[in-house]
Structure 1
């Protein structure tokens, strides 16, 4: 072992610099990263430049007006994230050994799931772990998958999405995917409609990152239709309000619109299309992540609740 530790110290990777690289990658640039961290952008630039000098590599390159990470920069970011995951796993183990029951549990959840499913599961969870703080973060399907993949939350519950090798999912048949209209709408008495009947209606779409919109887009492609929405909004509650006012037709599961349906402010029209009948929901966690006892408890009861509620065999096994 060398007596002079100077070189060893110089070769150590700066955790602060690696975190700055992570933030640059996460937010899409130095300025955006600095804004997110509430620091001056020059601080980040100096740290990254020092890391480049220490190791003789280029970590950022210019693409137009933006600075993006090079291949080696992205490798360092992944190294940082993996280190954070290992640290989190070790801290969870220490937590178990100390038999502590305090802490935090993060759940990414799509609109429409909290009231109809999570509330029942959380009641049991709160009795078992009264001192655990539960943080609910909402988002579209792609956003919730990203939260779970990046360990921003422990678990996710959302509409069914595409496959991701970093995500372990239990997928279930969801509540019915429908067109939603005001009781005063001309189609309100139909109860079941073909999608072509909506061709001339004012339609309400969600952004493409939403699972419900992805199913809707798949139906439109299958029907070979070219439709332009009258509204596009990123909240199911906003889409419901617009539809309830008689201004358009919204699309989502009956669970997501349960309050409006129960209040008689919206009518659900079943879509006669096989893709609509395939609408699914999923509980997700990151592959390889060791969950805390509290998170494992919630995961198990969440999956059990989904199985009881929708009585569907999961498309992905491996509890």
Structure 2
């Protein structure tokens, strides 16, 4: 009997090792995974090596300086993620069954949505679930989609992006997608108007990284117009892009909602982009297909959807003032 139990332990999958494998895949390497976990890289390497020896398989393959999961490594990772999903679903059911109102809700949110939208949705949520901890994780559209897909957050909120079959997305027409300049900028002298991108050829432009939804829309317009405009600045914070534009150093691109504080303070002027793609600019809330949300997360999902509808109506009424 003791030998059978020992054999079972030897064949059992080590959850910690699988967790490390997950972090390696998410962060793109052993050292990056260790940094994210706050542990020594040797600990991660040792755990993965033990898993490989125990089951006599190769889980990691080296491609130059990069490390990637092997086919069996990816299969193990999907098994681990599915186990985590089942555990999360069961915990949500237990919470619902017991009527508990404690726990956490994770939200991946684009920077431009935090103040204008979440504050509205969270006000009622906090009153309804005062003991629920809300964890906010910021990132680009691509990063937030990955967070939802990997169950790192319950809900995602970001600019519209590429379709993903594993993601349920509810899209909303967003506030106008605009070029933003200082009130002292030459482009603002003519007053509120629509502007074509080819009018910006001589300007110093502020771009976001390619994985940002706003930049993807801008790139789509440039491609459609066959324009090759190079940025003077590229930054991964909307607040930084707004500050640079407000200082008169360049032209930023984003929705009027994302720049609401600067617009209301008179530090930026919005010039709506004259192009069909700009008018299609959208925002979206995300959840993973097949995932059962806790009652608190389900409530927040509905609240964010309602808040997006209300915010859209307000944004449309302000659009005439900003553009």
TM-score (structure 1 length as normaliser): 0.92
Which whole-Å deviations, capped at 9, do the CAs of 1:28-80 have from their partners, x for residues lacking one? 22222233333333333332222222222111222223432211011111111
The whole-number CA distance in structure 2 between the counterparts of 1:271 and 1:42 is 51
Out of 205, 208, 222, the position equivalent to 2:207 is 205
Worse-superposed segment, 141-150 or 27-36: 27-36
Out of 216, 219, 232, the position equivalent to 1:217 is 219
Q: Give unpaired runs (5+ residues) of structure 1.
A: 312-319
Paired position in structure 2 for 1:20: 20
Paired position in structure 2 for 1:86: 86
Return closer, same or farther for 1:239/1:83 CA change in 2, 3 Å cut-off.
same
Secondary structure of 1:68's partner? strand
The whole-number CA distance in structure 2 between the counterparts of 1:173 and 1:242 is 27
User: How far off its partner does 1:173 sit?
Assistant: 0.3
Which whole-Å deviations, capped at 9, do the CAs of 1:240-262 have from their partners, x for residues lacking one? 11111111111000001111111
CA RMSD of aligned residues (A): 1.8
Equivalent residues in 2 for 1:58-77, closer than 5 Å = 58-77=58-77
Paired position in structure 1 for 2:37: 37
Secondary structure of 1:107's partner? strand
Worse-superposed segment, 166-175 or 130-139: 130-139
Does 1:237 find its partner at 2:207? no
User: How far off its partner does 1:2 sit?
Assistant: 12
Does 1:126 find its partner at 2:126? yes
The whole-number CA distance in structure 2 between the counterparts of 1:244 and 1:119 is 24
Return closer, same or farther for 1:47/1:138 CA change in 2, 3 Å cut-off.
closer
The whole-number CA distance in structure 2 between the counterparts of 1:136 and 1:151 is 14
Does 1:176 find its partner at 2:176? yes
The whole-number CA distance in structure 1 between the counterparts of 2:119 and 2:65 is 46
User: How far off its partner does 1:25 sit?
Assistant: 1.4
User: How far off its partner does 1:274 sit?
Assistant: 0.5
Which whole-Å deviations, capped at 9, do the CAs of 1:181-237 have from their partners, x for residues lacking one? 111111102521121111111111011111000000011111111111011111111
The whole-number CA distance in structure 2 between the counterparts of 1:46 and 1:102 is 36
Return closer, same or farther for 1:196/1:58 CA change in 2, 3 Å cut-off.
same
Secondary structure of 2:20's partner? helix
Q: Report which of the two has the higher share of helix.
A: 2
The whole-number CA distance in structure 1 between the counterparts of 2:275 and 2:296 is 40
The count of aligned residue pairs is 311
TM-score (structure 2 length as normaliser): 0.91
User: How far off its partner does 1:270 sit?
Assistant: 1.2
Paired position in structure 1 for 2:308: 306
Paired position in structure 1 for 2:57: 57
Which whole-Å deviations, capped at 9, do the CAs of 1:150-199 have from their partners, x for residues lacking one? 11111111100000111100001000000011111111025211211111
User: How far off its partner does 1:3 sit?
Assistant: 8.9
The whole-number CA distance in structure 1 between the counterparts of 2:51 and 2:3 is 24
Return closer, same or farther for 1:208/1:67 CA change in 2, 3 Å cut-off.
closer
The whole-number CA distance in structure 1 between the counterparts of 2:177 and 2:208 is 14
Paired position in structure 2 for 1:314: none
Return closer, same or farther for 1:229/1:125 CA change in 2, 3 Å cut-off.
same
